[in-house]
Amino acid sequence: EVGVITDPERRAKIQDAGQEMIDDFGITDKFFEDESKSIIFAALASDYADLKDSKVENVGVITAHKEFLADTLVLLAGKESAYADVYGGSKGEDDISSERMLATYDKFTNKVVSSEMTAAIANGLLDDVKKNLGITADNEDQYEVRVLNVLSEDGGEAYGMSPTPPDGLYDLKYDDPKVKEFDQDDEAYKDYEEGLIKNGKDFNKSMGREGDSFAPAWITTIDGRTILCLSLTTAEKILYKDEARSSYFTEDDRARDLALLKHEYTHTQKGVSVNGEPYLGIGLEELRAEHFSGDKHGYADVKRHFKFVSKLSGFSPKDIFDDRAEGEVFDPANFYTKIAQQEGLDGLLDAVLLNPSNYIKDEGSNKLQKSINDYVGGIDGLQEKAWDKAVKTIGIEGIEANLREFTKLIAEKMDPESFYKYGGFPYIARKALELWDKEKPSDYVSPSGF
């Protein structure tokens, strides 16, 4: 209907493949009430139609591809298929009940600071990101804010909180009032930090988790309730601007803390990850959250992937994020449709399958998600596929022209070799570096380090 597949014969093959998948996996009618998932299903059906049409005779290759399709479909359908138990088992669901989870969150929630953060948001703290997302009081998805009295063992979230020693501390006498005041402040801060670290360990134990680390902010869902969580130190740095901070804590650091909140808020509103979970579409969702929070944090592997692929195709999903009329709310189904229009159903599927590396390295990652990622070869495999596709569409000469122009821009600011090797050195970066090594001027001098 939107011009992605116009050939009637091709449409019929996709519909036949899709119907076969519906029948074999017991996909419910309710599944298709979600337009975003329906679009991704069409991309899967298209891939299956291609497999059925292919001349591949190797049984092992065919079997592996069918297993990939099955894993992806089970993850996509969630509870709306005959394999809902496989879906649940893939997440490593344990015996922690929602009641126990909520009780744990209740125990460690700082009600006062949570209330203050909620009020600050209501009074405009996030108005800029809301405006960019097209969020109003009428269309905002419901969520709640919880500030938790927890801290990682390494205290990373508390960066900038420790008291600053007075100038010339070590030249002062021990009984100098300045020394005594600093010692008292330092001891009080250590007690504060140690208490939060102990709470963090107790929180994880109650939640059945291993480890002693936390993100500064995260999203969780309990019984359908979306909860935006912040560590206490992160919330305090955002809220209490007049309190003294470490001498090394800058306004840029403060902006980064606020960007954390904006990033997580974006996750609460019209997200593009399937079923609201960190599996299918999570790379796109993290790209989206970074975009609307100012690109001040991580997920460099995701950002660089789409940047590199755009040098082959001329398109990036980031191009779509702001492609709306002023005041128009961000719509996930429209987002997926536009990707399919630009990149085809195969390009849409590849974008949905991209995983940030930290989601795959996590021992608690979804088993199906890991299996799918292994099959496509992770970021490297997806980039190699994008390269092969570009060879067919614009040719090697076209690819090299695009990479050459991109590298030229990089070379004006820094050493391309350092740039391309940063962040895991994926497939397209290696190709670009090979071209640079072959063609770089003999007298090239990098304008800066990296």
Between CA 65 and CA 289 the distance in angstroms is 31
Per-residue pLDDT band for 34 (boundaries 50, 70, 90) equals: very high
C-alpha angle 304/308/309, rounded to 5°? 120
In tens, the pLDDT along 62-82 reads 999 999 999 999 999 999 999
Between CA 371 and CA 275 the distance in angstroms is 19
C-alpha angle 208/211/216, rounded to 5°? 100
**Has residue 362 got a pLDDT over 70?**
no
pLDDT at 13: 96
**Has residue 339 got a pLDDT over 60?**
yes
| Average pLDDT in the chain | 92
**Has residue 94 got a pLDDT over 80?**
no
In tens, the pLDDT along 141-159 reads 999 999 999 999 888 889 9
One-letter-per-residue 3-state SS of the chain: CCCCCCCHHHHHHHHHHHHHHHHHHCCCHHHHHCHHHHHHHHHHHHHHHHHHHCCCCCHHHHHHHHHHHHHHHHHHHCCCCCCHHHHHHHCCCCCCCHHHHHHHHHHHECHHHHHHHHHHHHHHHCHHHHHHHCCCCCCCCCCEEEEECCCCCCCHHHCCCCCCCCCCHHHCCCCCHHHHHHHHHHHHHHHHHHHHHHHHHHHHHHCCCCCCCCCCEEEEEECCEEEEEEEHHHHHHHHCCCCCCCCCCCHHHHHHHHHHHHHHHHHHCCCCCHHHCCCCCHHHHHHHHHHHCCCCCCCHHHHHHHHHHHHHHCCCCHHHHCCCCCCCCCCHHHHHHHHHHHHHHHHHHHHHHCCCHHHHHCCCCCHHHHHHHHHHCHHHHHHHHHHHHHHHHCHHHHHHHHHHHHHHHHHCCCCHHHHHHCCCCCHHHHHHHHHHHHHCCCCCCCCCCC
pLDDT at 114: 99
Between CA 270 and CA 133 the distance in angstroms is 9
- Say which residues have a Cβ less than 8 Å from residue 414's Cβ, sequence separation at least 6: 446, 447, 448, 449, 450
pLDDT at 176: 78
pLDDT at 95: 61
Q: What is the token pair recorded at 78?
A: 């969630």
**Has residue 245 got a pLDDT over 80?**
yes
Ranges of each domain in the chain: 8-91+277-393, 98-268
pLDDT at 449: 54
First to last CA, the chain: 48
- When computed from its CA atoms, the radius of gyration of the chain, rounded to whole angstroms, is 25
**Has residue 167 got a pLDDT over 80?**
no
pLDDT at 259: 96
Q: What is the token pair recorded at 308?
A: 């590199």
Partnered with residue 231 across adjacent β-strands are: 148
Check: CB of residue 287 under 8 Å from CB of residue 306: yes
